[in-house]
């Protein structure tokens, strides 16, 4: 009896588990993702289709009415839209490669057999990421401010006039803050990927006469390519949402307008009670970020010869 | 908050902070403004009441502490917030949408219409003591809070202070260079040239980009009203000959590098420049006396105050910069107590004395102008009776100035434009032109009736 009953039960249980287990693992991701990403984007989309109408004069009754794509037309035709998008695009093209090159270099150094005090340096590089963005931006703002900064004074005394906050310089200055903050974080992701590179492959290469450079370039880098793709996608997403640094720098620099980045533009619009337009701007920003990240992923997976 | 390279699942969301807030708050739109019945419902609450109050007046906690000690049944919690355009108005807008707004908040005259338009204010005309208080305040300040409706249209806040403008200048520096206080803008420019020519790296003033309401004060002096309201119709008059005259003048000073253009208002860098004597004048409001006093301590005794330079010799026109009200907000459950506190705060001699001493406020209550403190010589200003100058300026402020209902946006356009000018691109006349068309668009966006 038991022998005949056992197989179906055994067969059923794994099948059930096969469904429940992935769902269980996904839940901690899906719940916050739904709450904090899907619902807000959905709400923003709903909001973006509406406009304020007023009846009974200036101080009369207001209501939210369906306006179709009016708000999108408004955003797309506004000069701040193209300006801010192009600005973050230019930022991404310069800042992301620099940051990831630095992060990769540091990760490879830490991973190389010669490195000493590994965990100490790992921590040192990671510390900036642990500092809240606003605090970091305020600290750098102080270091950039021509009248307060000891660095500017020092540079001035040796004949260099550093202009960190001029229209030409401010984007670079913001780039520096972002690089300072996130290089360590990306380094850690890449370093973890390097830990997974099988040591015997490296040993074999060494036996075949490969030096540290060759091992790094020909073996380690190709094997951590997925991690590099991942950090690039995250960086792209982050760059298009740039907010904290420009917002803080607005207090000290004359070069950061209220629509400097797309996120800052959406924020400024809400201050003027233009919630519909801000929502449309946000949806466009979310879409642009999604399309770019997706396109980049497609491009790189194809390069790697995967479907 | 969100920045480069953070892990996707850990990040809060892909949409802007503002929209997250909007989500938490429910839908946009907002209800009606039932001003007619609001007043009638303003009855005192029974039992002990706690009110929440947002303000950025330095030393407000001391005035509130005095109230709390005298009124055990109506306790006020004051929260110190950043100044209005620096963040409080935005937070307040979002809090109103979320039904989490405080009972009371400081709101400047220029933003009162914006908050009424978004249905954020409580009509307190029916609250005990409010109607009777009208005569205690300087006329034009009261017409700001009843929107010129003589009470028929409700009362939406209690006036707190005004900001008649004058010229703060370093008397010692002017004396050394053989200059006297400039009485006209032409003399002011001449003084700027003398100061620059002295070659000590000093500038007559800074051109502030973060303070569009400072620039508005300059326009105000030249009778360059920015908005006109005719019933429910609005006309935008930001770009007009009177404002162009002001813009061209300052553009000229900027072009000739006579003013410092890399200093933001109220920034540590500006305070340092005052303290070290790098910047030697400030055209500012009455409340500005405590700003200099508190932030440039080593220049004590060296400053003096003179009337604002004039466009026409012998005229006595002054601009107004700022000045606030204490507004009761829509959601307050205790409007009667909130109104009672607001009235006390802005008329009680002891409260006014604290607000003047700590925060440098120049009272909106007529009786406040008799405060002993306002008749005294001020040692920081070399023993000058500086409030005589502001009393005179107060009489020269054009009381017909009308604020637009979308000032937050208009200020933003002016500020962005001024930032470009300071950065060396564009000029202030173009800024006026752009702010004009952008403000028209902004009014349309709020579905307001715009003409011309």
Span B83-109, pLDDT tens digits: 877 789 989 988 998 899 999 999 999
Distance CA A30, CA A19 (A): 16
Structure tokens at A95: 């800042």
Taking CA atoms, what residue in B is nearest to A41? B15
- Whether A133 sits inside 8 A of B3 (CB atoms) is yes
pLDDT in tens, A253-270: 878 999 999 999 999 998
| Among the partner residues B118, B147, B264, nearest to A273 by beta-carbon distance | B118
Distance CA B414, CA B436 (A): 9
Q: What is the rounded average pLDDT of the residues A37-46?
A: 93
pLDDT in tens, A204-247: 998 998 888 899 999 999 999 999 999 999 999 999 999 999 99
Would you say residue A2 has pLDDT above 90? no
| Among the partner residues B16, B231, B269, nearest to A282 by beta-carbon distance | B16
In percent, how much of chain A has pLDDT > 70?
92
* Shortest Cα distance, chain A CAs vs residue B133, angstroms: 24
Give residue A252's pLDDT band: very low, low, confident or very high (50, 70, 90).
confident
pLDDT at B72: 94
Cα dist from A182 to A88, A203, B12, B120, B217, whole Å: 17, 32, 17, 41, 43
| Among the partner residues B5, B22, B268, nearest to A235 by beta-carbon distance | B5
- For this complex, say whether ipTM is above 0.90: no
Cβ-based contacts of A37 with chain B (< 8 Å):
13-14
Cβ-based contacts of B22 with chain A (< 8 Å):
43-44, 47, 270, 275, 279
- Whether A243 sits inside 8 A of B17 (CB atoms) is yes
- Whether A58 sits inside 8 A of B229 (CB atoms) is yes
Cβ-based contacts of B96 with chain A (< 8 Å):
none
pLDDT at A35: 94
| Among the partner residues A40, A74, A276, nearest to B23 by beta-carbon distance | A40
- Whether B412 sits inside 8 A of A271 (CB atoms) is yes
For tokens 């004359």, name the residue: A254
As a three-state string, the secondary structure of chain B is CCCCCCCCCCCCCCCCHHHHHHHHHCCCCCCCCCHHHHHHCCCCCCCCEEEEEEECCCCHHHHHHHHHHHCCCEEEEEEECCCHHHCHHHHHHHHHHCCCCCCEEEEEHHHHHHHHHCCCECCCCCCCCHHHHHHHECHHHHHHHCCCCCCCCCCCCEECEECEEEEEEEHHHHHHCCCCCCCEHHHHHHHHHHHHHCCCCCECCECCCCCHHHHHHHHHHCCCCCEEEECCEEEECCCCHHHHHHHHHHHHHHHCCCCECCCCCCCHHHHHHHHCCCECEEEEECCHHHHHHHHCHHHCCCEEEEECCECCCCCCCECECCCEEEEEECCCCCHHHHHHHHHHHHHCHHHHHHHHHHHCCEECEHHHHHCHHHHCCEHHHCCECHHHHHHHHHHCECCCCCCCCCHHHHHHHHHHHHHHHHCCCCCHHHHHHHHHHHHHHHHHHCCCEEEC
* Shortest Cα distance, chain A CAs vs residue B209, angstroms: 7
- Whether B15 sits inside 8 A of A242 (CB atoms) is no
Query: In A, residues 84-123, which contact B (CB 8 Å cutoff)?
Result: 95-96, 99
pLDDT at A286: 92
pTM, to two decimals: 0.84
| Among the partner residues B18, B29, B231, nearest to A63 by beta-carbon distance | B29
Residue numbers of chain B with a pLDDT score lower than 50: 1-39
Q: What is the rounded average pLDDT of the residues A64-83?
A: 92
- Whether A285 sits inside 8 A of B422 (CB atoms) is no
Determine contact: A32 vs chain B, CB below 8 A. yes
Task: Among A239, A241, A250, A292, pick the best mutation site for testing chain B contact (most B Cβ within 10 A).
Answer: A241
Give residue A305's pLDDT band: very low, low, confident or very high (50, 70, 90).
low
- Whether B20 sits inside 8 A of A40 (CB atoms) is yes
Cβ-based contacts of A279 with chain B (< 8 Å):
19, 22
Distance CA A229, CA A217 (A): 16
Between chain A and chain B, the number of residue pairs with CB atoms below 8 A apart is 230
Would you say residue A251 has pLDDT above 90? no
Q: What is the rounded average pLDDT of the residues A12-24?
A: 69
Cβ-based contacts of B4 with chain A (< 8 Å):
95-96, 99, 178, 181-182, 234-235, 238-239, 242
Torsion of CA B331, B334, B339, B340, to 10 degrees: -170
* Shortest Cα distance, chain A CAs vs residue B6, angstroms: 6
Determine contact: A59 vs chain B, CB below 8 A. yes
Cβ-based contacts of A290 with chain B (< 8 Å):
14
Within a 10 A sphere around the Cβ of A232, how many other Cβ atoms? 21
- Whether A41 sits inside 8 A of B17 (CB atoms) is no
pLDDT at B164: 94
pLDDT at B30: 37
Cβ-based contacts of B272 with chain A (< 8 Å):
147-148
């Amino acid at each position: 009896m038991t022998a005949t009953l056992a197989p179906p039960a055994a067969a059923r249980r794994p099948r059930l588990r096969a469904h429940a287990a992935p769902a269980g693992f996904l839940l901690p991701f899906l719940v916050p993702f739904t709450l904090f990403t899907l619902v807000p984007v959905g709400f923003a989309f709903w909001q973006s289709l509406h406009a304020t109408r007023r009846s009974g004069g200036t101080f009369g009754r207001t209501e939210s009415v369906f306006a179709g794509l009016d708000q999108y037309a408004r955003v797309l035709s506004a000069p701040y839209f193209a300006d801010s998008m192009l600005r973050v695009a230019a930022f991404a093209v310069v800042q992301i490669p620099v940051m990831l090159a630095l992060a990769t270099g540091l990760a490879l150094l830490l991973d190389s057999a010669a490195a000493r005090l590994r965990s100490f340096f790992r921590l040192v590089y990671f510390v900036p990421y642990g500092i809240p963005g606003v605090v970091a931006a305020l600290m750098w703002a102080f270091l950039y401010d021509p009248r307060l900064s000891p660095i500017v004074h020092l540079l001035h005394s040796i004949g260099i006039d550093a202009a960190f906050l001029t229209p030409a310089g401010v984007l670079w200055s913001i780039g520096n803050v972002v690089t300072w903050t996130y290089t360590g974080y990306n380094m850690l992701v890449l370093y973890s990927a390097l830990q997974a590179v099988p040591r015997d492959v490296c040993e074999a290469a060494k036996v075949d006469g490969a030096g540290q450079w060759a091992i790094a370039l020909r073996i380690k880098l190709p094997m951590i390519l997925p991690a590099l793709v991942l950090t690039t996608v995250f960086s792209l997403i982050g760059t298009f949402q740039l907010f904290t640094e420009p917002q803080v720098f607005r207090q000290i620099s004359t070069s950061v307008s209220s629509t400097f980045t797309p996120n800052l533009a959406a924020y400024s619009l809400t201050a003027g009670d233009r919630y519909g337009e801000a929502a449309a701007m946000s949806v466009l920003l979310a879409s642009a970020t999604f399309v770019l990240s997706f396109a980049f992923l497609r491009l790189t997976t194809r390069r790697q010869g995967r479907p | 908050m969100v920045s480069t390279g953070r892990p996707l699942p850990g990040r809060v969301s892909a949409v802007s902070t503002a929209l997250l807030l909007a989500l938490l708050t429910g839908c946009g739109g907002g209800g009606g403004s039932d001003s007619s019945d609001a007043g009638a419902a303003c009855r005192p609450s029974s039992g002990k009441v706690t009110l929440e109050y947002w303000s950025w007046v330095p030393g407000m906690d001391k005035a509130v502490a005095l109230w709390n000690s005298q009124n055990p049944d109506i306790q006020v919690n004051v929260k110190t917030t950043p100044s209005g355009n620096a963040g409080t108005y935005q937070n307040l807008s979002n809090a109103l949408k979320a039904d989490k707004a405080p009972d009371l908040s400081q709101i400047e005259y220029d933003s009162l219409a914006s908050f009424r338009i978004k249905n954020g204010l409580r009509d307190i005309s029916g609250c005990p003591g409010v109607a009777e208080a009208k005569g205690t305040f300087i006329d034009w300040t009261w017409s700001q809070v009843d929107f010129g409706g003589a009470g028929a249209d409700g009362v939406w806040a209690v006036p707190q202070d005004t900001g008649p403008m004058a010229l703060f200048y370093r008397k010692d520096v002017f004396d050394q260079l053989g200059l006297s206080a400039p009485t006209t803008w032409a003399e002011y420019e001449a003084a700027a040239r003398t100061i620059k020519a002295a070659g000590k790296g000093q500038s007559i003033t800074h051109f502030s980009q973060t303070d569009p309401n400072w620039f508005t004060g300059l326009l105000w002096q030249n009778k360059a009203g920015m908005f006109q309201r005719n019933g429910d119709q609005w006309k935008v008059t930001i770009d007009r000959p009177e404002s162009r005259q002001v813009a061209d003048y300052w553009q000229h000073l900027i072009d000739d590098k006579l003013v410092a253009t890399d200093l933001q208002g109220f920034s540590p860098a500006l305070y340092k420049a005052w303290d070290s004597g790098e910047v030697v004048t400030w055209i500012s409001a009455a409340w500005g006396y405590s700003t200099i006093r508190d932030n440039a301590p080593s220049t004590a005794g060296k400053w003096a105050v003179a009337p604002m330079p004039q466009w026409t010799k012998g005229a006595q026109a002054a601009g107004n910069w700022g000045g606030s009200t204490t507004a009761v907000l829509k959601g307050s459950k205790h409007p009667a107590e909130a109104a009672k506190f607001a009235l006390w705060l802005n008329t009680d001699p002891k409260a006014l004395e604290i607000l003047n001493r700590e925060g440098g406020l120049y009272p909106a209550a007529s009786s406040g102008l008799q405060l002993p403190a306002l008749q005294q010589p001020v040692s920081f200003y070399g023993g000058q009776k500086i409030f005589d100058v502001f009393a005179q300026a107060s009489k020269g402020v054009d009381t017909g100035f009308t604020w637009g209902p979308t000032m937050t946006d208009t200020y933003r356009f002016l500020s962005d434009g001024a930032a470009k000018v300071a950065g060396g691109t564009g000029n202030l006349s173009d800024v006026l032109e752009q702010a004009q068309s952008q403000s028209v668009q902004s009014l349309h966006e709020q579905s307001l009736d715009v003409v011309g």
